[in-house]
Chains A and B, each alone.
Chain A
């Protein structure tokens, strides 16, 4: 019987957690510095954002330096390795992009607070990336969510507060399911470590615990039928926060789901325990894309599209093959760039960086702001899964992996979902390239050019990843 906290932690244990620590402690620095500003001003915003970006880059570099080393810190509670580092880097990139998009959003005197909350959320997602212990999973998940509840409300629009309330209630309920599942898993095995779970004999209690645990994760991933909150919350929340949620939350949760599915289940019954997950993925791919068909608000549309995209990623896990995991990571990275790119385009179309951007606003965009329309078209092509983007390459690889693992039916659903999604995305493209009377269209511009940087980086990454897919090979083993 191994206790997660049995041994005293060493300096190496703290070193493994250092990047997440930095991201968790820098908010205090930001808040402290902010105390010295008496009046609201542009510099107050620049300083807070600047400190955050600099330290995020430091954390990213420190994280990257640890890449080749596998280390199980705190008695195996936090496993640092290629897997966790790739996910953490995705979270950090998403956070930096969010900060870029949020220049110009909200009041200057609130920026330090929102930046701090954002970093705490990010540190939660980074904890989840390396968590291989039920407690750390719960801690990371809550750290991620608590910040986001507040961030969702950070807008003057009443819908922002509504989205925060809905997110708070539903997400807490889902966390409770995950927690209760954790308690049952602990009861079934007498341990909170993933490694011990994998060695246990399967009992109904363990299966039930695993099921509730998966429900909690499925909620965070917004898999159907636990997706209902996603469109409402995405639509109501400030645009940068929506962008962050659509990537960072999913990255952290997918890391936990992957580690749980691959490494924390007794191998003899893992397939049976995970079976509902593939059904959820299939439902998400179909219903997510169908739901997107009827949408006219861009954030809402991207929310539904995100539901389907997560379905694609979970499809890669089917059969829990090592290759599938690598392709899932690749597709997640690609999805991050395509999705953040699309959000950046939307941000560039709002005067305060956070307007409600409906589909009619895109009418004739290609003639008014051709570069923006071209960029958006490129990201939509990627999301639809057409070459020469990572959307295409990633989907082909996922199809190959799932067929190879014996889940051809899931691959079939993926193709069906992709077919529906093409209709969704090309609807937007068609609107952008339609000739309309410009007088009828409200044309707003973002006050900041920083989203352009995000657009350029995301477009380049979407293309390059598509041509040169990077699939990290040293992601296993996931527990020690």
Chain B
């Protein structure tokens, strides 16, 4: 019962706020937040049921045999539900402050609640169709929220890009679902996991996994379907925190963890997914070093961190991957929300080059950001340290030394670019009043400066500020798990390991003996992280660097390698290989195929049908005797058939 409530409450909120937003006015925010808060409480109350063997299950409808729809809350969906409703609640509260004064205040919360509903559908479904529906709905919610400020052309373009990329992924998942339904004739996870080994040959299994992974890659911004995520930062910052950092983009991790039995059975799928996860981790981290927009830096770091998670679940270290999702949700949400405070205070300035020295004006934001940076960099004792270590060492344990090396290097790069962000933003002198060209900013519209992102101009619409605590309290609360939550997985018998003990299937192959122990690995990671920090300190944080920060930033901007500025030319390649040919093809269709082939064909068919219709109409003379004749004619035909079938060729009497 409570499970239905948990599922439907956000939907109710979404509909309520959408329908009565204008009437509710400023109450829309608190109501939206409260409903998510209640959903969080419901999730906590359901803890015991969910952790019972088999989890909690609630049926909805059985359509046909094998097509039963229901909800399930097991340990995996419980973790996701806690994050979606818990972190979601904090972000809703934060948004009351952040979105205060926006013209579409109620609409924002309606979309946010709808997103939570969609995400809950995704993780609570006990069947692939429900999963697919949720998968599509989160994409839709994301589309709405990226394009929330639809007056900005860039926001609309980003929303469309995200949607198109996600549709590519949806097609992959649909393909996998078709294969599953066709072979197993059931949509329930339980049936699928019970029968997939008989139903699929290794090749077919790999294809199913591939289909699923294409969906993951699109949703979780894995190479090569990652390009929408940085652009998605056009949405309001709370949206970036909730959807494009904490929850939706990790749906791919959930999907692979959910289909762990399939992955455990397919070595090829593990190799592929692990490799792409590792590649995404390092590629995203490198791009993170080349960004100036504070949200884009965080976006690339999200992409990189999800790369870690995908690598973890991909190679079979499911609990490590899920744990990294768990910790990441806290520290990345915190980083985004802290960045949001900065952006909000600087009237929508997002370019870190035009910040600097902010720790004095915004000590709270600085502390919050500092804790987040320490956590994501993997400083011992904070949450990111434990989960990242687990993933990296998991690569070694499962016999992927190359992925281990990639993970190690990425950890160093992560520390570098996150401390770069911290130093440039909060240390030295404030540079907001420095001329843009002195900082080397040539294209403000590409750099996320206030000039381009000024969707809420204070001159036009002076708005009173909501109490500051609405934004700072959620961030303050998030600091606690960001620091401490990692200890759940700190030692061999830690609660996290017990929680998932025996939940995920073991990978079929015997574990490879790791060449060195986890302690050595931890030390190694720490050394790399310190190295990354040291480089960042020398380049951005040391007194010498801070003194001539403006000149250094200009030099770096001007000398930034083009390959990084253009994000490895993925967008350009898509444009050249897909968008432009599609335009050409479309134009050709428009000019020739549509009018002369398709339209003409449709027209001919329509005309012929109409003509036939009128022909039959003319048979309908209205004369009763003619109708009687038609009946007699029909009888004669039928009698002739029976005479032919039975009297002449069949057995006589």
Contacts and interface: CB of A to CB of B under 8 A. Distances in A.
A204 B616 contact: no
A170 B631 CA distance: 9
Contact of B613 (A202, A273, A290): A290
Contacts of B516: none
A226 interface: yes
A469 B63 contact: yes
A212 B637 CA distance: 11
B653 interface: yes
Given A226-B631, A294-B614, A211 B624 contact: no
Contact of A293 (B613, B628, B631, B641): B613
B626 A207 contact: no
Nearest to B627: A228
B522 to A, nearest CB: 54
A211 B639 CA distance: 7
A468 B626 contact: no
B524 interface: no
B635 A212 contact: yes
Interface in B599-652: 606, 609-610, 612-614, 616-617, 619-620, 622, 624, 626-628, 630-631, 633-635, 637-639, 641-643, 645-647, 650-652
B190 interface: no
A214 B637 CA distance: 13
B627 A203 contact: no
A208 B627 contact: no
A170 B63 contact: no
Contacts of B610: 293-294
A215 interface: yes
Contacts of B619: 228
A176 B63 CA distance: 44
B643 A276 contact: no
Interface in A197-213: 202-205, 207-208, 210-212
Contact of A232 (B61, B606, B622): B622
A207 B650 contact: yes
Nearest to B621: A228
Contacts of B622: 232
Size class of B's contact patch? 35 or more
A202 B652 CA distance: 9
B185 to A, nearest CB: 12
Given A228-B630, A293-B610, A469-B64, A204 B617 contact: no
B645 A272 contact: yes
A295 to B, nearest CB: 8
A232 B619 CA distance: 12
B646 A173 contact: no
Most buried by B among A174, A211, A219, A272: A211
Contact of B634 (A226, A269, A272): A226
A476 to B, nearest CB: 18
Contacts of A229: 627
A218 B61 CA distance: 37
Contacts of A225: 630-631, 633-634, 637
Nearest to A223: B634
Contacts of A208: 639, 642-643, 646
Contacts of A413: none
B633 A202 contact: no
A204 B653 contact: yes
A231 interface: yes
Contact of B647 (A204, A210, A232): A204
A165 B628 CA distance: 13
B638 A202 contact: no
A206 to B, nearest CB: 8
Contacts of B652: 203-204
Most buried by B among A166, A228, A469: A228
A331 interface: no
A241 B633 CA distance: 29
Nearest to B608: A290
B22 to A, nearest CB: 21
Interface in B63-93: 63-64
Contacts of A204: 642-643, 646-647, 650, 652-653
Given A232-B620, A291-B613, A423 B627 contact: no
A126 interface: no
A294 B639 contact: no
A411 B32 CA distance: 50
B642 to A, nearest CB: 5
B609 A423 contact: yes
A292 B620 CA distance: 12
A448 to B, nearest CB: 31
Contacts of A125: none
B63 A468 contact: yes
A436 interface: no
A205 B647 CA distance: 9
A361 to B, nearest CB: 20
Contacts of B651: 202-203
A54 interface: no
A211 B642 contact: yes
A149 interface: no
Contacts of A232: 620, 622, 627
A272 B647 CA distance: 13
Contacts of B631: 170, 173-174, 177, 215, 219, 225-226, 228
Contacts of A456: none
A225 B637 CA distance: 10
A290 B609 contact: yes
Contacts of B620: 228, 231-232, 291
A275 interface: yes
A66 to B, nearest CB: 26
A192 interface: no
B63 A423 contact: no
Contacts of B642: 204, 207-208, 210-211, 273
B617 to A, nearest CB: 5
Contacts of A20: none
Contacts of A423: 606, 609
A276 B627 contact: no
B638 A214 contact: yes
Nearest to B651: A202
Contacts of B626: 228
B633 to A, nearest CB: 7
A170 B624 contact: yes
A211 B61 contact: no
Contact of B645 (A207, A228, A468): A207
A232 B624 CA distance: 10
A294 B652 CA distance: 47
Contacts of A46: none
B625 to A, nearest CB: 9
A29 interface: no
A467 interface: yes
B624 A169 contact: yes
B613 A294 contact: yes
Given A170-B627, A207-B646, A275 B641 contact: yes
B612 to A, nearest CB: 5
Contacts of A228: 619-620, 626-627, 630-631
Given A165-B624, A166-B624, A229-B627, A215 B616 contact: no
16 contacts: A203-B653, A205-B653, A208-B643, A211-B641, A215-B634, A226-B634, A229-B627, A232-B622, A272-B650, A287-B616, A290-B616, A291-B617, A293-B610, A294-B610, A468-B61, A468-B62
Given A295-B617, A469-B64, 5 more contacts: A204-B650, A208-B643, A228-B630, A290-B616, A293-B610
Interface of B: 61-64, 606, 609-610, 612-614, 616-617, 619-620, 622, 624, 626-628, 630-631, 633-635, 637-639, 641-643, 645-647, 650-653
Interface of A: 165-166, 169-170, 173-174, 177, 202-205, 207-208, 210-212, 214-215, 218-219, 225-226, 228-229, 231-232, 269, 272-273, 275-276, 287, 290-295, 420, 423, 467-469
Q: Which 10 A-B pairs have the closest CB atoms?
A: A293-B613, A294-B613, A228-B627, A207-B646, A204-B647, A225-B634, A204-B646, A207-B642, A294-B617, A211-B642
